[in-house]
Structure 1
Amino acid sequence: MLIPASGTGQYLANSVKAIRFAARGCTNRPFYHIVVTEVKRDQVDPVIEQVGTYDPIPNEYNEKLCSLNFERIKHWIGNGARVSNPVRELLGLAGFYPIHPRTYMTSWRNRKKLEDEINSQEAEQENDK
């Protein structure tokens, strides 16, 4: 019998729960389910519930697709589930949490890298003249 992708719904009442990524997909094509699971469970063990998905590979419109079930996420957080840092970052971008500081640092680094590339291209053009 296969375990449903949305989860079994079975868990120990007093166990600590976590909302985290469960890696799916294949080599060079990652895909993540955002799941509620017991903290001590392995990533391949059955999950309690799937509350979203995240596709980190940009599509033809340069969009990274994400779907979240905010009602169920609120329910599990209200029941004491911990949220992992990567999921917290994603929820910050979605407006559920404040934006994570790592998001600001990543965008700052990306802007700095782009500025450096533009400056080096301009310097090369001036040297060519």
Structure 2
Amino acid sequence: MATKIRLARGGSKKRPYYRIVIADIRSPRDGRFIEKVGSYDPMLPKDSEDRVKLNVERIQYWLGNGAKPTDRVHRFLDAAGLLKREPRNNPQKAELGAKAKERLEAKKLADEEAAAATAEAATEGASEEAAAE
């Protein structure tokens, strides 16, 4: 049986609370699970000790039996020192979309035209002053 260590959502609307559970990969997210091995309360501050609670012995047992953690649970296990998680790199995430690039290009052209008009007005003003003297 393929198992995962994952989050099962509980709590009321806009007040999430998660159980960290061992579940068959075919069972639904909030449905049947094999064992509860921890909890996660995202409403608590990040430095709170009660934000993530883990039953380390049971998690190590299930990892030894082939359970695969989800990405979020893998982060918790990395913070607890149970697993090592390599940071991911998505350089395309920071790129602007096509429309944003078009808007930025249009803004640059408008700024250049405004700067050129200002410089032209300044040179005309300087030439008028020189002619007046």
The normalised TM-score by structure 1 is 0.61
**One-letter amino acid of the structure 2 residue matched with residue 34 of structure 1:** I
Match of 1:67 in 2: 53
Alignment gaps of 5+ in structure 1: 1-14, 106-129
Task: Kindly state the Cα deviation for residue 45 of structure 1 after the two structures are TM-superposed.
Answer: 2.0
Residue 76 of structure 1 is aligned with which of 62, 73, 81?
62
More helix by share: 2
Correspondence 1:31-110 to 2 at 5 A: 31-59=17-45, 63=48, 65-101=51-87
**One-letter amino acid of the structure 2 residue matched with residue 75 of structure 1:** Y
* 8 Å contact kept, 1:31–1:54: yes
RMSD: 2.2
- Matches of 1:40 and 1:56, distance apart in 2: 26
Pairs aligned (count): 89
* 8 Å contact kept, 1:32–1:55: yes
- Matches of 1:67 and 1:81, distance apart in 2: 18
Match of 2:94 in 1: none
Percent identity reads 36
Residue 10 of structure 2 is aligned with which of 15, 18, 24?
24
* 8 Å contact kept, 1:34–1:50: yes
- Matches of 1:91 and 1:101, distance apart in 2: 14
* 8 Å contact kept, 1:21–1:35: yes
Runs of 4+ residues over 4 Å off in structure 1:
none
